[in-house]
Structure 1
Amino acid sequence: MPPTPCQRYCGDDFSAYGRRFGIAYRFARQGRLPVVQGRVEEFALRPGMRLTHSDVEVLQHYASSSLQSAALLVLVVLEGCVTLQVGGSERHLRAGMAMSTRLAGSAHALHASQAPGQRLRTLMLGLEHAAALPQLALSAGASAPSIWRLPEHLVGSLEHALDDHWQPGAQRLLLEGLALQLLAHVQPAMPPHPLEQPGVSPGEQARLEAVRQRLLQQPMEAHRLEDLARLAAMSPSSLRSKFRHAFGQSVFDCLRQRRLTLAREYLAQGLSVQQTAQRCGYRHASNFTTAFRRHFGVSPRRLAHTLA
């Protein structure tokens, strides 16, 4: 997928990318319906080392399986949540976390899935073979994925390097240096239980997921923090902090993102701005227009005209 300021990617685009890099994709809906919207950039940092930056709105659920071999694969989540299938268990990679693993073909495929209604910003750093960076002394074969938290200073440096103001050559050099820093922080394989997010127990995680699903499935409702806290069996303040800890965004940022993602779909279907605002839970079209423009950088009326 070539880099672009903002573009819609459908299943065919993902399939073409998958053929290049040995990734099998599965989508909730087939055909030419868009899967994500945003930008995807690829950087060839040095022979055998590739970095892919994605900043997209997830429009429909999709899953992937990495089928090719790789000496090392590092996935960094800057915003949003990626669900991983690791040894038959489901794990969640959230903002500020990274996963590192070695791949050994389809017999040891890494499975991932992305939920709709979220902004997802990720970095994927791949080393095709151990000779690409001999200093790491990578051994052959598959390795259990290790999930770990990035140092805050490295997160800030990555965010800065991904700003739009850099010249391409300077940005590539900066990203290569940061990629080497990232590799220096790669952790050894860990047993399964540390993959859970620190500070959130498995039971709390399940209740937080129930809250998130309520927001995603009923975005038109006038949700109150107190009601959602009762659903999570937590105090409102605990829900605030633990929800952000678990999913990388606040409760109401999650709701707003879901509403606006649906709004874009309704506008594409031909609904008016007023109808779209009401269906998405906005009492006043003016509030909806303000939120939509702030989120997408364009008014809903102009976007509807573009999609017509």
Structure 2
Amino acid sequence: MSASATPDTPPAADVAPHRALSVDDFAHFERRYHIAHRFPDFETGRPGGSRCVVEGRIAEAQPWPGCQWVSSDIGIAQTYESHALPGAPAHLSIIVVLEGEAELALGGERCRLLAGQSALLDYDVPDDTLPDYNVPDALLPSPLSARHVAQPRVRAINLTLLKAPQTPHPSSHASHPLSPWLERLALGHGCRRFSLSDALLRSLEESLQWPVGAPGTELMTEGLALQMLGQALQQSGGGYSVEHGAVEPADALSARDRALLARVHAELERHPGRAHSLDALARLACMSPSALRRKYRCRYGRSLFAQLREFRLRLAHRLLREGLPVQEAARCAGYRHATNFATAFRQFHGVAPREVRREQ
């Protein structure tokens, strides 16, 4: 189970063997899943490449495009941490611990999971379009990390869905087949615990014994994934607040709140390339920063950061179609580094910036 298990590589079709994974194997996972690993039990932070970290069985499946299912039944020989890198795409994950324990951290929230516990995680992509990580009022989301302490046995399920799977062409930017449900599950960059039914937990435990690639396994995995999403939706309430842990339905907003939130939304849409800060936007909304973040997500179904990022990438696409060079389009859209811009652009539009400009 990693801090950011993102489906960018098809899984193997054969039965998952019993494996001993070394530090060198973790280096492969870093490239594939856009994460970095640390080994805090060692002074250097990283032991020798052949040293065993985990041993057991890990199976992967893709129930549908843009979705990855990872089941693991392992023993952890060395405590390790995994940290999402800037290249990790925005995604939603459901993590279920069936045995053992794990700890997640995201958006200033820490979530320790024990046997039988589950968490919903909503990760927005950090990039360089907003003020520094060290600026307190920045909209930039905090990093995602997970810590796995040494323990005899961990059995877990990780279901990850990309928020914006790549599409063949920017003009055909299709939504995720589950996008209406994913929007209702969004936490605005954060994580929270929720409960799965005992019956579903038993089914998930049974799934650890399924041979990968056997007839019917793919359909049964898809069924379990839909049940996990359904039970998470039942408990989401459509307006979960990470800061206050309470449900605030959209129709609870006053007419004044809606008008002030529309003012903020219009400011982001008119001037996406500006270096907006949460404090400045909160003053515009006549709210505290925490109230603005909560009420904006309640009103628009997404975080301020996610909305601003979309406005910036749509502006960049229009500028490229008008003939601007890639670096100039990135600068006008608020990006300082072309590499980060290209990564975010491809993840959102499904095509590289230079390919859009080449069409002109």
TM-score with structure 1 setting the length: 0.57
State the alpha-carbon separation in 2 of the partners of residues 167 and 91 from structure 1: 33
Identify the residue that residue 90 of structure 2 maps to in structure 1.
70
* Structure number with larger C-alpha Rg: 2
Identify the residue that residue 119 of structure 2 maps to in structure 1.
99
Identify the residue that residue 149 of structure 2 maps to in structure 1.
115
Give unpaired runs (5+ residues) of structure 1: 195-308
Contact 1:146 1:190 in 2 (8 A): no
Q: In the TM superposition, what is the alpha-carbon distance from 1:141 to its structure 2 partner?
A: 8.5
Contact 1:104 1:141 in 2 (8 A): no
State the alpha-carbon separation in 2 of the partners of residues 124 and 162 from structure 1: 12
Identify the residue that residue 59 of structure 1 maps to in structure 2.
77
Identify the residue that residue 179 of structure 1 maps to in structure 2.
225
Q: In the TM superposition, what is the alpha-carbon distance from 1:69 to its structure 2 partner?
A: 2.5
Contact 2:95 2:159 in 1 (8 A): yes
Gap change, CA 1:141 and 1:159, over 3 Å in 2:
closer
Q: In the TM superposition, what is the alpha-carbon distance from 1:178 to its structure 2 partner?
A: 0.6
Gap change, CA 1:159 and 1:170, over 3 Å in 2:
same
In the TM superposition, 1:1-308 aligns within 5 A as: 4-27=16-39, 28-29=41-42, 30-31=47-48, 32-67=50-85, 68-88=88-108, 90-106=110-126, 107-129=141-163, 131-138=176-183, 142-164=188-210, 168-186=214-232, 187-188=235-236, 189=240, 191=242
Contact 1:48 1:132 in 2 (8 A): no
* Code of the aligned partner of 2:21: Y
Aligned residues: 194
**Alpha-carbon deviations, 1:180-239, whole Å to 9, x = none?**
010111243454787xxxxxxxxxxxxxxxxxxxxxxxxxxxxxxxxxxxxxxxxxxxxx
* Code of the aligned partner of 1:108: S
State the alpha-carbon separation in 1 of the partners of residues 62 and 242 from structure 2: 32
State the alpha-carbon separation in 1 of the partners of residues 227 and 67 from structure 2: 14
Q: In the TM superposition, what is the alpha-carbon distance from 1:26 to its structure 2 partner?
A: 1.0
Q: In the TM superposition, what is the alpha-carbon distance from 1:44 to its structure 2 partner?
A: 1.2
State the alpha-carbon separation in 1 of the partners of residues 54 and 182 from structure 2: 37
Considering Cα pairs closer than 8 Å and 6+ residues apart, tell me whether 1 or 2 has the greater RCO: 2
Identify the residue that residue 346 of structure 2 maps to in structure 1.
none
State the alpha-carbon separation in 2 of the partners of residues 129 and 177 from structure 1: 20
State the alpha-carbon separation in 2 of the partners of residues 112 and 124 from structure 1: 13
Gap change, CA 1:137 and 1:75, over 3 Å in 2:
closer
State the alpha-carbon separation in 1 of the partners of residues 151 and 96 from structure 2: 19
Identify the residue that residue 211 of structure 1 maps to in structure 2.
none
* Code of the aligned partner of 1:25: H
Q: Which has the higher helix share?
A: 1
Give unpaired runs (5+ residues) of structure 2: 1-10, 127-140, 165-175, 246-360
